[in-house]
Amino acid sequence: MAEADWVLRGGPVYSMDNSAQYYSAIALTGNRIVWLGEAGAATAHVGPQTRVIELDGRSVLPGFIDTHIHSMDTLPLVNGVTLSPYQSAEEVLATIAEHARTHPYQNPVIGIGFLAPAFGVNGPTAAELDAVIPDRPALIIDEGGHTGWANTLALKAAGISQETPDPVPGAHFFQRDESGNPTGWLVEGAAIDPVSEALGLVSEEALALAAPGFFEEMSAVGLTAAFDAGMIDTGEKGRALALDMAEAGAFPLRMVASLYVNQPEQLTEALAVLAELNERYQHPLFTVSTLKLSLDGTVEAKTAVMLEPYTVPEGHEPAPLLPNPAMFDAVAAAHQANIDLHLHAIGDGAVRAALDAVERAKAMHPDSDSRSTICHIEIVSAQDVARFASLGVVAQTTPTWLEYDDLALNRLGEERFNQMYPLASILRHGGRVTLGSDYPVSWIGKDALNPMFNIEMAVTRQQAGHPEVPVQPRVSERLSVDQAIRAHTSDAAWQLRLEDDIGTLEVGKLADLVVLDRDPYTTDLHQLHRIRVEHTFSDGRLVFSRPDAE
């Protein structure tokens, strides 16, 4: 037998294929898996140049796939202030003040992670931010990534005043006081963009400096592939950097990227723009192939589109970011062109609209090869649960959000609260569920990047490591460990249209795999988040080894 480059032996090797086969050894040559079998037979693949990892009971899984992340848009925020949605308004302001004090030369001050409702139903104000950062512009993004908070100097830099019209009235707008003056709360992307652009938050140099460290962090938690759900801020600079890194052999994972659309006027040229991007960005480790449409916002921002009005504020009915019929026509055009879709839908109204649009598009183009994913699916009407399977639509979400959501209960009421994240029901009807981090959007900071936190919280629907806290209803929507792992591996690969290459450990497939310090199938459910990655292989390359790993 031929000598392999790598042999890993002596622990469970879970293939995650349809047969649920597992082995105790695996061999890699180049960037391919060349053999799977029992540890005792692995010696036949070991030669003088073979590197051997003795697993000693440690487990091997396919490399984890993040099915929804904003990887390149994370880079400008790497050195910003990190906040938490658990902080009160006073704690948020104190944290920002301390960051400004310890980073006197950071100009502008940037950050992410606060919960806007902590400042009341109308959000935070420039005056509050001025009190802690009076000397330079500041822009802070909320935990959901759908609102921003600017101080007075940032608003002035962008030329935003009482006379400035809202970018998309009712959908993307500047929160205003009774006199019509912008308060500093920027709701949705088109309201945030003018400030971000005026402050020059994105530069090629800053992105290039931040990228190696951040991608190393991705490798350290076992991520070998990702779907970038929108380079909203970094745009062409982000895409160019990803391609440059891939061509230089410095990109430690494979990435499928998307064109992000969240404003109606962008729909007309979206497919033409995507086609041009797809032609320019074709590398085995980096492609741009998917159309991302953002249908609504978030419950926290009061921009999630619901089938019925909000309970609080009473009667509130937000406008969709991409209204019909333009959104329906864009989905149909994508099906006609065999383009994959990634549809952002938080509220049950947006989920219904996304499913309706896909159903219409499939009827119009029954031979289309398009694959559609609806991401987040925070609230799903019971009438729509079975439609994911019948329409072949992937249900994508982020389980690190699956903590008992008092805010959603208050704003939407108990009936809709009990329809949050019906993951197990979608699977029971024959649908497909995938998991991702949505990083840097996060309820739990940097831990959200770690798939083991997602896996645990999909299984428990509780804060990681805290079996005593309330379960996010319904208990019956908990996944099994196997279902959650598949949602980060084999099913995730299908979403990215990479199922023939990655997602399972099979001879001939690409060598994307991860070595864990213990077996997730035998670990206490509330300790899954403590499982550590020992080694990460991407495309046959050892891209991460924990310093104390043997």
At 319-353, the pLDDT tens digits run 999 999 999 999 999 999 999 999 999 999 999 99
Residues listed for the chain = 550
Position 455, amino acid: I
Phi and psi at 166, nearest 5°, equal -65, 140
Q: What is the mean pLDDT of the segment spanning 154-177?
A: 95
Paired residues of 288 in beta bridges:
257
Q: Is the pLDDT of residue 171 over 70?
A: yes
Give the C-alpha separation, 255 to 548, whole Å: 29
pLDDT interval class at 275 (50, 70, 90): very high
Secondary structure of 346-398 as H, E, C letters: CCHHHHHHHHHHHHHHHHHCCCCCCCEEEEECCECCHHHCCHHHHHCCEEEEC
Q: What pLDDT, in 10s, does the model give residues 11-28?
A: 999 999 998 889 999 999
Give the tens place of pLDDT for each residue, 176-186: 999 999 999 99
Q: For CA atoms 230, 234, 239, 243, give the dihedral sign.
A: negative
Contact 124, 149 (CB under 8 A): yes
- Beta carbons of 481 and 520 less than 8 angstroms apart: yes
pLDDT score of 1 more than 90: no
Looking at the DSSP assignment, which residues form a beta bridge with residue 37? 25
286 contacts: CB under 8 Å, gap ≥ 6: 242, 243, 246, 251, 254, 255, 257
Looking at residue 354, what is its pLDDT? Answer: 98
H or E element at residue 458:
helix 451-460
Average pLDDT on 120-139 reads 96
Say yes or no to pLDDT of 550 above 90. no
Angstrom distance (rounded) from CA 494 to CA 487: 10
Q: What is the pTM of this model?
A: 0.96
Predicted confidence at residue 445, as pLDDT, reads 87
Task: Count CB atoms within 10 A of the CB of residue 246.
Answer: 20
Q: What is the pLDDT of residue 443?
A: 85
How, if at all, do strands 147-150 and 138-142 pair? antiparallel
Share of the chain above pLDDT 90, in %: 95
Helix (H, G, I), strand (E, B) or coil at 344: strand
Residue 214 has pLDDT above 70, yes or no: yes
C-alpha to C-alpha distance for 129 and 206, rounded to whole angstroms? 25
Residue 412 to residue 378: CA distance in whole angstroms: 12
- Categorize the per-residue pLDDT at 549 as very low, low, confident or very high, splitting at 50, 70 and 90: confident
pLDDT of residue 20: 86
What confidence tens digit (pLDDT) does each residue in 371-393 have? 999 999 999 999 999 999 999 99
Q: What is the DSSP string of 95-114?
A: HHHHHHHH-TT-SSEEEEEE
Q: Which domains does the chain have, with CATH numbers?
A: 6-63+509-545 (2.30.40.10), 109-199 (3.10.310.70), 261-495 (3.20.20.140)
SS3 state of residue 29: strand
The yes-or-no verdict on residue 293 having pLDDT over 80 is: yes
Weakest mean pLDDT among 202-206, 281-285, 465-469: 202-206
> Which are the contacts of 272, defined by CB distance < 8 A and separation ≥ 6?
none
- Summarize pLDDT for 243-262 with one digit per residue, the tens: 999 999 999 999 999 999 99
